[in-house]
Structure formats: C-alpha cells, structure tokens
Structure 1
C-alpha cells in the first residue's frame, strides 16, 4: 500500500504544546501512515521502531530511539541523536553534534557546521561524513564516500573503512588567520585495523599518526 502523508489538525492548546515544547511521535506498530514532522521551537523525539518521513526543526534537537526509521533529518540549532539500528536517509545540523549508536544505517550523508560527529560500531554511511568545526570519531564504521573536517580532530579505529578520500583542513576566515584563532594542529589518527581506500588530503599541517597495518592511499599536502 502506498504511504500517504497526512496533515495533522490540532486544537489551540495542543498546537501551542507542539510549537513551544518538545514533540514526541509514536505511531501504531501496524499503522501504514508515514508523516513528515516540522518544528520551530523545541525538540523532536521518535520512539523505538516507529517510522516517519522528513523531520525538521529550527531550535531543538532531534532524537530517534532504537530501530526507528526516517527520511531526511535537519535542524538549525540542536544536536541529532540516532540510537542503535536506526535507519535514515540523511542527517544535517548547523549548530550541534551528530551522535550515532551501533548498527545505524544512513543511506545518504551526515553533515554539521559547528559540532562533532561520533559513529559507533557496525554503522554504515553510504555517502559522506563532513563537519566544519568539530571532531569526527568513527568506530568500526563503513563510509561509502569522503570524510572531511576543516577544524577538528579525526579518529578512525576498530576496522573503520573509508571508501573515498580523507580531507582535513581548509580555508580559514580572515579574522581567524589575523588573530591566530583556532590555529592549533588537528590530530589525525588511523589505527592499524582501519583503511582509507582513497587518498589523504591535508590542507594544513596536522599531527598525523598512521599506525602499522593501516591501509591508506597517498598523502597529499596542499599547503
């Protein structure tokens, strides 16, 4: 049966609660509907095993409990937490971190501007993992495309596999360079069980540690 998007109709008091407070969604285990969820103020929490469409929030975090499914997830001010065995298409935030549990599947990409990304064992990201300001830590994770950070440490451990390139550093703002802000070297650590099938592109000096046994491509310096 084709999934149908439904427009929810709330009374005044319910609408205020949804707009100003956290939104908790729980669907019937046997329900066929898949609905989109959009918030302005407050967070969104999807209960275990529930299925929803797109989720968006302006000011608030987004949390999916174990085994929940969603399509595209995005928030401006807030973190994104995906528990074990969650499946989503994409996840993106501007100001907030992204935290994944075990055996999470992302059919697209993970992106954040100001915030770190941590992915735990058994998870798969089909496309890229990117942040501007934040640390990326991947444990026993497969990434189908590139992994990139401009300002932040990057750690690969426990048989993590990056199918694309590893990119660290990039163009800093005028004020950052003028006043020497955020100019400490990033730590890039690849343990002996992990691999980067593409190349490692360094756009600034970093503390690079590649342990014996790691399988990586060429190391290319762009500075």
Structure 2
C-alpha cells in the first residue's frame, strides 16, 4: 500500500478519535454544569423550575426546589424545605424547620427533620423512610417504601397512602420528659379507611400514643414496647 494511503488512513482515524474525545468532554462538562452543587451559610436557595443540580445545602436559610426540578441531597440546619410539584430529589433533611413535598414528587431515599413537620402531597413517592423527632407527619395519597418514624409528632395517614414498612413511635430517651411530660402531649396516630390507606408493616409503640385507626383500615400488628 502506498505511503500516502497509510498516512491518510492514520490521519482520518486520528481526526475521528479527536472528534469523539471532544464530544465526550463536551458532554461531561455539560453534565457537570447541570449537576453543580449549591451551598450557602446565610440565606435561602431557590432552584428554578426544571433546573438540574447536585447537592443543595444551607446553614441559615430555607430551600425551595422548583416545579419539575432535579436535585440530589437537599439539606439545611435552620430553615424549611419546599419541594414543588413534579420535582425529583434523592433526600431532604433539616434540623429546625419543616419539609413540604407537593404533588407527584419522587424522593429516592429519605425525608428527615428534628424540629419540624413533614407533609407529603398526592401522588408522591418516598423510596426510604420518613422521620421526625418533634413534628407532625402528614401523608396524602403517598407511597412510602420503608418506615414512618417519629418520637413526639402526630402521624396522619390518609387518602390511599401506603407504607411498606412500619409506623414507629420511638422512645423518649430523656428521663425528665418521661417523669414530668413537659411539652410532650400524647401524640396521635390517625389512619383513615378511605381509599385503601394501608400500613403493610406493624405499628410499634415505645410510649403511649392515641390510636385513631378507622374501621376497615389495613394495618399490621400493634406492638407496645413499653409498660403502662
């Protein structure tokens, strides 16, 4: 084969390789830009509708994930978290603040608060646990892939919500809260019978809870792990 033919073949192959490499780098750079991480110490964060980002975090400020937006973990210390209709996230966690999840949202893992309630709207799916310490949990036609856990909060399950795991009221660990019950009212567990609300696991009580379970609601065993 003549030299110039080999040279042309090698040149064409090199050009093709360079084109493929540049396309790969461009795609990766674009992906990295879409999944940029956003972090603040003071101030709220708003993710625009349909925007795609990575981790979103704040220390002193709320976080709002816009309609049909995408994010990985969403975390704040002092502030609430709002997840608008159709958004998708991996998880959300706050210490002092509530979490509001609108309709048709996908949460791949968990929702967690310490001092604040969690409300999940119709058609939304949470792949893992929903957990609070001091805060009400409200589920409206929601599918939960694992357990619902609280210590002092009320739990309201309605409109066809399905919990694949348990409903757990954890024990109050501090002795003075058990002795004096300061600021610790007896929480309620409310399960409506309408539209097939269901707890596939058990109801595990580690302290006194007022049960308001409608006749016809489908639940597992009620297990009390405390002395009256």
TM over 0.5, yes or no?
yes
Cα distance between partner residues in 1 of 2:216 and 2:179 = 40
Q: Would the aligned equivalents of 2:124 and 2:143 in 1 still touch at CA under 8 Å?
A: yes
Q: Give 3-state SS (helix, strand or coil) of 2:104's partner.
A: coil
After superposition, the Cα gap between the structure-2 partners of 1:117 and 1:3, relative to the gap in structure 1 and judged at 3 Å, is farther
Cα distance between partner residues in 2 of 1:55 and 1:214 = 38
Cα deviations by residue, 1:46-87 (Å, 9 ceiling, x for unpaired): 011111110010100000111110001110110100010010
Cα distance between partner residues in 2 of 1:4 and 1:171 = 48
Cα deviations by residue, 1:94-140 (Å, 9 ceiling, x for unpaired): 11100010001000100011100000100000000000000000000
Higher mean alpha-carbon deviation, 181-190 vs 106-115, is at 181-190
CA shift, 1:5, in A, is: 7.5
Query: Is structure 2 residue 141 aligned with structure 1 residue 140?
Result: yes
After superposition, the Cα gap between the structure-2 partners of 1:137 and 1:3, relative to the gap in structure 1 and judged at 3 Å, is farther
Q: Which residue of 2 aligns with 1:197?
A: 200
Where structure 2 has 5 or more consecutive residues not aligned to the other structure, the ranges are 1-26
Q: Which residue of 2 aligns with 1:121?
A: 122
Cα distance between partner residues in 2 of 1:73 and 1:3 = 23
Q: Which residue of 1 aligns with 2:22?
A: none
Query: Is structure 2 residue 93 aligned with structure 1 residue 92?
Result: yes
Cα distance between partner residues in 1 of 2:138 and 2:197 = 12
Q: Which residue of 1 aligns with 2:47?
A: 46
After superposition, the Cα gap between the structure-2 partners of 1:204 and 1:178, relative to the gap in structure 1 and judged at 3 Å, is closer
Q: Would the aligned equivalents of 1:4 and 1:35 in 2 still touch at CA under 8 Å?
A: no
Spell out the pairing of 1:127-166 with structure 2 (5 A cutoff).
127-166=128-167
Alignment partner for residue 219 of structure 1, among 212, 219, 222? 222
Spell out the pairing of 1:160-179 with structure 2 (5 A cutoff).
160-179=161-180
Q: Which residue of 1 aligns with 2:4?
A: none
CA shift, 1:4, in A, is: 5.9
Alignment partner for residue 2 of structure 1, among 15, 25, 28? 28
TM-score scaled by length of structure 1 = 0.85
CA shift, 1:2, in A, is: 3.0
Q: Which has the larger radius of gyration?
A: 2
Higher helix residue share: 2
Q: Give 3-state SS (helix, strand or coil) of 2:86's partner.
A: coil
Cα distance between partner residues in 1 of 2:29 and 2:217 = 45
Cα distance between partner residues in 1 of 2:211 and 2:145 = 22
Q: Would the aligned equivalents of 1:5 and 1:36 in 2 still touch at CA under 8 Å?
A: no
Cα distance between partner residues in 2 of 1:137 and 1:165 = 15
Q: How many residues align?
A: 198
Higher strand residue share: 1
Where structure 1 has 5 or more consecutive residues not aligned to the other structure, the ranges are 7-31
Q: CA RMSD in A?
A: 1.4
